Amino acid sequence: MAKKIGVYICSGCGIGDALDIDALAKVATKEYKVPVCQKNAFFCGKEGVEVIKKDIAENEVTYVVIAGCSGRVNYDVFNFGPSVVLERVNLRERVVWTQEPDDEDTQMMAEDYLRITLAKLKNLELPEAYVIENCNKRVMVVGGGLAGMTSAVEVAKAGYEVVLVEKEDSLGGWLKRSYKIAPLNSPYTDPEDTGLEARVKEIEGNSNIKVYTSTTIEKTAGAPGMFDVTLKQGGGTLEEKVGAIILATGAVPYEPSKLGHLGYGASPNVVTQAQFEELAAKGTIARPSDGKAVQKVGFIQCAGSRDQEHLPYCSAACCVESIKQALYVKGQNSEAAVYVFYKDIRSSGQYEHFYKKAQSEGVMFIKADVTGVTDDGGNLTIEANDLLMGSPTMADELDMVVLANGMVPTTAFEDPAYGTEAQEEAACAAADAAPVPAPIIKSNILNLEYRQGPELPSLKYGFPDSHFICFPYETRRTGIYAAGSVRRPMDMSQAVGDATGAALKAVQCIEMTDKGGAVHPRSGDISFPDFQLNRCTQCKRCTEECPFGAINEDEKGNPLPNPTRCRRCGTCMGACPERIISFKNYSVPMLGNMLKSIEVPEEDEEKPRVLIFACENDAIPALDMAGINRLQYSKWVRIIPVRCLGSLNLVWINDAMSKGFDGVLLMGCKHGDDYQCHFMKGSELAGIRLSKVSETLDRLGLESERVYMTEVNVMDYDRIPKIINEFVEKIDKFGPNPMKGF
C-alpha cells in the first residue's frame, strides 16, 4: 500500500477563531510536504466526511490525519474502514480549549501537535492481524461447584463446547455439603433447596458439555485459542484442546483449629458453619455431645475473618450463611433462642430482606466483640463486649456455638493437599529497584507451562490478581478467567453472577483470538509485538516483566512470544534495552521521532518545553476532560500519549533531554496494592525504571527531578492544571536545560 497522507484541518468548535489555520496548513504542506491538505469548518458533518471519503476514493489517500477534536469523540463518524490509517490531532480539547486564543504560543502548540502526528506516520504501518490456524473454540471450566456449573451452562447456552473438570467424584462442590442455600430468588426471605440434582441433570443432558470427574490438571500449555491441557484421571492421562479456561475452583473454609480462642476443639459443641450444615442435613439439629435437640444457639461472626492474626479480609458469605443457619434453628423450634454476635452484618444486595426475615423470626443480633467461649460440662457461654450497650455481656446455657470461619481461596495453598498456606516471600523478598516478579503460589491447580510460573499471579491473600474495578474476571493470564469465590470472597448469588460474567469473557476471548484481536482493555487491537531476535541479548527482561506472562523462553533465554496471550500494552517494548521489540503502529523509534519533531526554542527565547507522556487509559481522558471543562494549563507542555506507562522506554527520556526539553512529566495510573493500571503492572514498572533514570540524568549533568512521574486517574481532571503548572514552575526554577541547542 502506497503511503499517501491527507491532512484535514477542521476549524469548527472555535478552532478557527483561536488558531491561524493557514499557518497550520503550511506546516503540513511545506514542512512535511503532505500532498493533500484540506480545510473545512465542519469535518464531522455529512459534507465534511464526504470530502475525506472522496479523497480516499479518488486521490488514493491512505493515511488520513484529522486535526480537530479528540480521538475519543466522533470515532464512529470518522470510520473509513480497516485499510485506511487514521490519526487524529487533538486541537480542540488539548489546545484551543485549554490555552489563550490567538496567541503565539498557542499556535506553536497546535503546530507541534500536527508535527508530532506527521512524524508518527513516518514509522507507522497498518498492522496485520496475527491469526492462528484452527482457533479452538471450546472452553474448559475448572471446578464443578456452583460457579463452575453455572459457567459451563452459560458457555454451552452461547453455543460453545465445554469441558468441565472436577477434582471430586461428582459435581456440586459446596452445594453437596449444604442442607439448603440462601435464597437466589425473590422475595429473598427463606432458605432454598440447593437444586443440585436439577443443575447436574442440566449439565449431563447437555451434549455440548463434556464432564470429567475425579480429574485434575497435570499440565496446561499453549495460549488462548490453542491451550493443550493434560488431564490426570485415575492413573492415566488424557489430552484436551481448548480455547479459553474458566477457573472456578472456589474456596475452602478457614482452618478452624486455629480458632482455639473461640472454643473450637475444647468442646464438641463448638462447630464450624460447614459442620453445622452437615448436622442440619441429618434432620433434627442436635448437640454433638449428647444428641439433645438444640434450644439455644450462639453464632460468632468473623471467626477468623477481619482479624489481623487470621484472615484480614471480610469473607463476604458468612453473614448470609449464619442468617440461613439461624433460620434453620428457628424453623426447627420457633421458641429457640438464637444469638448472632457480629462485627457488622454484611448481608449485601438482596440479602437485606433475608436479614430482616431472621430478625422478624426473633433471631437476636448483637454487635459485640467476643472475648471468650467457655464450656461448663456441655453448656457453653459466650462472653463479649456489647458495643451498642457499651457493657460486657454474656449469653449462657448455650447448646451449641457456631463459628463463621470464613474462606480461603483454593489458589492460596502451596500444595494439593491444602496443607500449609503459601509463603509470600516472592512478593516481599525482591529489592526495591528490581522488577518485582509476580507472586505465584504453586497451588497445583492449572500447572501452566508459562515462563513466569505454573499458576495465576496472585494478590496479597492468594486470590488471583485482576483489575478489581474495571475488569474483574480478567486474570493476569489472557484467556484464563477466574469466577466465584476463588476470585474474591463472595456468596452464592454473587458467584452465579460472577460465573456468568466469566463465561461471557471466555467466549469474547475466543472470538477475539479467532480474529487476531486483543481482549480487554485494548479490545480488538490487531497489532502485536514483533521481536528482532537476531539482536536479542537474552537479558530476559521482556519475559520477566510482561504482566501477562505472554512470553515464554527457550533454554538459551531467547523470548518465545505468544501473540494470542498478548494484551498489547507494550511493556516488553519499554523493558527491552536493545529496543528490538516493536509494534507495526507503536515502536521506540516512532515515539522517538515524535518527540524529536517538536520544535524546542533556543534558550534566549525563554520558552521552556516540558514533555508529557500520558497513559491512554486514564491520563488522556482526564486531559480531555480538563479541556472540556475549559481548565487552562501551562502553554509550555507537549503531550504524547502512550499505550501504558509500562511501554516507556528510557531512551525516550534520553532523547527528550538531548533534544533540549526542560522536563519530562509522566502521567500514569495508580499502582500498588490497589492499583488502577489497566495492564496491572505497567505503571509500577515505569516507576521502577524511572528510579534508574537519575543515573542517566547525572551522566548528562542534569537535575534528576526534571523527570517526574505522577498518578492520575480519570476523575482527576480538575487536578490536571495544578499538576502540570506545579511541575512547570519547578522546572522553571532549575532554569533551562543546558543541552539546548546541541
In the complex, the smallest distance separating the C-beta of residue 103 from another protein, rounded to whole angstroms, is: 54
DSSP state of 377: T
Q: How far is the CB of 407 from another protein (least distance, A)?
A: 25
Looking at residue 379, the DSSP 8-state letter turns out to be E
Neighbours of 601 (CB within 10 A): 17
Q: Minimum distance from CB of 394 to another protein (Å)? A: 4
Residue 345 engages another protein in binding (rule: CB under 8 A): yes
343 in contact with another protein (CB under 8 A): no
- 359 is a site residue for another protein (CB under 8 A): yes
Contacting range for another protein; rule: CB under 8 A; set: 58-66, 351-359, 601-609, 682-690: 351-359
Output 121 or 326, the one with its CB closest to another protein: 326
If one asks whether residue 364 binds another protein (CB under 8 A), the answer comes out as yes
C-alpha neighbours within 13 Å on the C-beta side of residue 359: 10
Stated as kind and residue range, the H or E segment containing 553 is strand 551-553
Q: Does 238 bind another protein (CB under 8 A)?
A: no
Does residue 383 interact with another protein by CB under 8 A? Answer: yes
369 lies in the site for another protein, by CB under 8 A? no
Size, binding site for another protein by CB under 8 A: 24
- Exposure b/e, 62-94, CB count within 10 A at least 16 = b: bbbbbbbbbbebbeeebebeeebbebbbbbbbb
Residue ranges of alpha helices (H) inside 584-706 are 588-596, 619-628, 650-659, 682-691, 693-700
Are 11 and 40 contacting, i.e. CB atoms less than 8 angstroms apart? Answer: yes
Sign for the pseudo-dihedral over CA of 640, 642, 648, 649: negative
Residue 343: CB minimum distance to another protein, A:
13
Element (H, E) at 638: strand 637-642
Q: Residue type at 526?
A: I
Nearer to another protein, 161 or 361 (CB): 361
Site for another protein in 271-290 (CB under 8 A): none
**Strand arrangement of the beta sheet that strand 707-711 belongs to:** 637-642, 610-615, 663-668, 707-711
Q: Which is nearer to another protein, 396 or 578 (CB)?
A: 396
Q: Which is nearer to another protein, 388 or 469 (CB)?
A: 388
Site residues for another protein, 392-421, by CB under 8 A, read 392-396
- Strand residues in 554-600 grouped as ranges (E): 559-561, 581-582
Q: Does 265 sit near another protein (CB under 8 A)?
A: no
Q: Decide: 346 and 365 in contact? Cβ < 8 Å.
A: no
Residue 391 binds to another protein (criterion: CB under 8 A): yes
Amino acid at the residue 438: A
Residue 668 dihedral angles phi and psi, to the nearest 5°: -130, -175
Nearer to another protein, 1 or 389 (CB): 389
190, 228, 386, 511: residue in contact with another protein (rule CB under 8 A): 386
Q: What angle do CA 690, 587, 600 make, to 5 degrees?
A: 70
| Residues in region 497-526 near another protein by CB under 8 A | none
User: Which of 387, 504, 628, 714 forms a contact with another protein (CB under 8 A)?
Assistant: 387
Q: Using the minimum distance from each CB to another protein, give the nearer residue, 375 or 383.
A: 383
| Interface residue with another protein, options 41, 293, 388, 560 (CB under 8 A) | 388
Q: How far is the CB of 302 from another protein (least distance, A)?
A: 17
Handedness of CA 330, 335, 339, 344 (dihedral sign): positive
Question: Should residue 375 be labelled a site residue for another protein when binding is judged by CB under 8 A?
Answer: no
Residue 201's CB is within 10 A of a number of other CB atoms, namely: 10
Inter-residue contact 607 to 105 (CB < 8 Å):
yes
Handedness of CA 715, 718, 719, 724 (dihedral sign): positive
Nearest approach in angstroms of CB 363 to another protein is: 9
Residue 303 beta carbon to another protein: minimum distance, rounded to whole angstroms:
21
* Minimal distance, residue 336 CB to another protein, in Å: 11
Of 97, 212, 339, 341, the one binding another protein (CB under 8 A) is 339
Identify the residue among 356, 442, 540, 670 touching another protein (CB under 8 A). Answer: 356
Grid cell in block for residue 308: 489481623
CB of 360 to another protein, least distance (A): 6
Burial level of 53, CB count in 10 A (0-12/13-18/19+)? middle
Q: Is the CB of 366 or the CB of 667 nearer to another protein?
A: 366
Question: Residue 377 or residue 390: which is nearer to another protein going by CB?
Answer: 390
Q: Smaller CB distance to another protein: residue 332 or 359?
A: 359
CB-nearer residue toward another protein: 257 or 334: 334
Q: Residue 182 Cβ, how far from another protein at the closest point, in Å?
A: 18
DSSP 415-439: STT--SBPP-HHHHHS-SSSPPPPP
Candidates 4, 306, 367, 584: give the one binding another protein (CB under 8 A).
367
Three-state secondary structure readout of 169-229: CCCCHHHCCCCCECCCCCCCCCCECCCHHHHHHHHHCCCCEEEECCEEEEEEECCCCCEEE
Measured from the CB atom, the residue of 7 and 380 that comes closer to another protein is: 380
All 3 cell numbers of residue 564? Answer: 494470542
The verdict on 293 binding another protein (CB under 8 A) reads no
Nearer to another protein, 396 or 698 (CB): 396
Assess 334 for contact with another protein (CB under 8 A).
no
- Retrieve residue 157's grid coordinates: 447456552
Q: Say what angle helices 318-332 and 273-281 make with each other, to 10 degrees.
A: 30
Tell me how crowded residue 178 is: count the other CB atoms within 10 A of its CB.
24
We find the least distance from the C-beta atom of residue 348 to another protein, in angstroms, to be 14
Q: Which residue, 352 or 698, is less far from another protein as judged by CB?
A: 352
CB of 374 to another protein, least distance (A): 12
Q: Which stretch binds another protein (CB under 8 A): 386-394, 466-474, 533-541, 634-642?
A: 386-394
Of 360, 420, 532, 537, the residue at the interface with another protein (CB under 8 A) is 360
Q: Is the N-terminal amide bond of 187 cis, ω within 30° of 0? A: yes
Q: Which of 265, 362, 372, 577 is the binder for another protein (CB under 8 A)? A: 362
- Residue ranges binding another protein (CB under 8 A): 337, 339, 345, 355-356, 359-360, 362, 364-367, 383, 386-396
